[in-house]
Structure 1
């Protein structure tokens, strides 16, 4: 077993020494804000980050100004070596990556890696995934867990292999999802919990104390998937139950936003609550009907109750709470 020591000696501010073994060299791969928390946790834990791989700068905004990824901004601010390959199989990039002589690669919210990349380090490549694998494999695990009304979710670290999100599990950590929590709120909790789990994972790999476990076998019928969110996914069907519609709203908030139409314009709903009639009978209105007093509340009838809209955005307008919207809206 390799003894893990929090010693920095003369090895630099981002280095951890492991007994008589050379410091573990890590290449980090990630792009969005979610990944920054993990990179920051690794840096603060003292690990040697020999390279940061992130997406190329892209034009954005009205002026189409080149914009850096959140991970690149952090890496540059902390003096880390950054690589931004257009293609991961590019021979020049592969030579640069190999020259870093990483012992371990870590992937957080990045693109798919070819085998020549994920199989390069001696300790392989570890991925941090935003679900309790094997459930919710795919691109949007946070969104789908909320859309499906899960009461619990979590994070998993695992070793990459050929099939997506199927590698041997290293560590997992779970946490509850509140009844009205949005995907954005779950995301913000998850990035911090995931960052700490990743630090534990790297320490365990350094100490050779982890026991990778194959993902539990489950029939296709028992697996819940997390595919990419499309426009059709975001369209609200008020023929569904109030619970289902409420979960769709919070599962797509803040992005891309569940939507319906109002006076011929797209209306996005970002925050809602469930509202049920006093009697167990169906609402008098038909699903999709809008009910409002013009001052305090705005509701849509669903199959068994009402969706109470709390935060919304009408096409061409700013996002706002319901009361502010009603004060300025003319029917």
Structure 2
């Protein structure tokens, strides 16, 4: 088929590669403009733009699918649009421009977790299972009929970043199969069934750890916001980023209060509403990430406990 592909981050690249490998004609790849990255704010192309250039595909850079971008894409006369984490909405008349409309690879089992942050919200909620869905794009948010899904358990200790990478690899062949079925005229989509849940975009404050909850909830929050927007707590007004944690296997006889950090038998523990959580890797303000035990030796001089805010 003659396709137009829209995507921006690295998780969209496996699907683009799969569609090219299957021999489809990619009329253009739509991605968001180069963005300033790093301390020097160097303008850097998106991972999808880099992949498109590697594959020798034309690239349309657009911050949003406005009238100008719509006109450019419509003139491509694609038979189908495929979108994976582009970062913008497809509205009419662009939505109906391809003969078969647009399909979207979404990283949840729809109708669960409709919205911008399905993987993060799923991990934060403590879900045991998630997956990916390929559905027909419609004006309503993530509400179209579903062509195919793939399901996977969420690994113990898996962060949203790790899970998203796995779902990107699982979703690529799933999307390619749906495109092949649409090309063959055999694709069948079914209305979404089940309870709808929403996954709004996270902001920085979603990463602030709430310690006075059960350890399972705290651990889920930390893993859900890792790597973005990142988990943190405050010590003397300064941010301490928390990268890696694990629930303790043996509970100390005198567990610390929620938000209180102590060292027990060489382990750096922080209290929750029930059992403590062990800090494995942290990042103090202005420094690089380090083992929590190394950080504790410097931070705890003259005290046996630190209390977060």
TM-score by length of 2: 0.91
| Secondary structure at 1:115 match in 2 | coil
CA distance in 2, matches of 1:176, 1:87: 34
Shift of residue 45, structure 1, vs aligned partner: 1.8
Instruction: Tell me the equivalent position of 2:244.
Output: 271
Instruction: Tell me the equivalent position of 2:212.
Output: 239
1:226 and 2:199 are equivalent in the alignment: yes
CA distance in 1, matches of 2:100, 2:20: 19
Shift of residue 278, structure 1, vs aligned partner: 4.5
Instruction: Tell me the equivalent position of 2:149.
Output: 172
Instruction: Tell me the equivalent position of 2:137.
Output: 160
- Of 111, 136, 139, the match for 1:134: 111
- Of 292, 295, 303, the match for 2:273: 303
Which segments of 5 or more consecutive residues in structure 1 lack a partner in the other structure? Answer: 1-23
Instruction: Tell me the equivalent position of 2:85.
Output: 109
CA distance in 2, matches of 1:181, 1:126: 28
CA distance in 1, matches of 2:42, 2:274: 48
- Of 99, 123, 126, the match for 1:149: 126
Pick the structure with greater CA Rg: 1
| Secondary structure at 1:199 match in 2 | helix
Shift of residue 217, structure 1, vs aligned partner: 4.9
Is the contact made by 2:251 and 2:275 (CA closer than 8 Å) also made in structure 1? no
CA distance in 1, matches of 2:115, 2:237: 34
Instruction: Tell me the equivalent position of 2:259.
Output: 288
Shift of residue 175, structure 1, vs aligned partner: 0.6
Instruction: Tell me the matched-pair count.
Output: 300
Shift in CA distance, 278/77, structure 1 to aligned 2, threshold 3 Å: closer
Shift in CA distance, 78/232, structure 1 to aligned 2, threshold 3 Å: same
CA distance in 2, matches of 1:210, 1:327: 60
Alignment of 1:246-261 (within 5 A): 246-261=219-234
CA distance in 2, matches of 1:278, 1:59: 46
| Secondary structure at 2:186 match in 1 | coil
Shift in CA distance, 179/215, structure 1 to aligned 2, threshold 3 Å: same
CA distance in 2, matches of 1:100, 1:172: 29
Shift of residue 308, structure 1, vs aligned partner: 0.7
Is the contact made by 2:9 and 2:46 (CA closer than 8 Å) also made in structure 1? yes
Q: Which moved more, 1:247-256 or 1:134-143?
A: 247-256
Instruction: Tell me the equivalent position of 2:192.
Output: 215
Is the contact made by 2:255 and 2:276 (CA closer than 8 Å) also made in structure 1? no
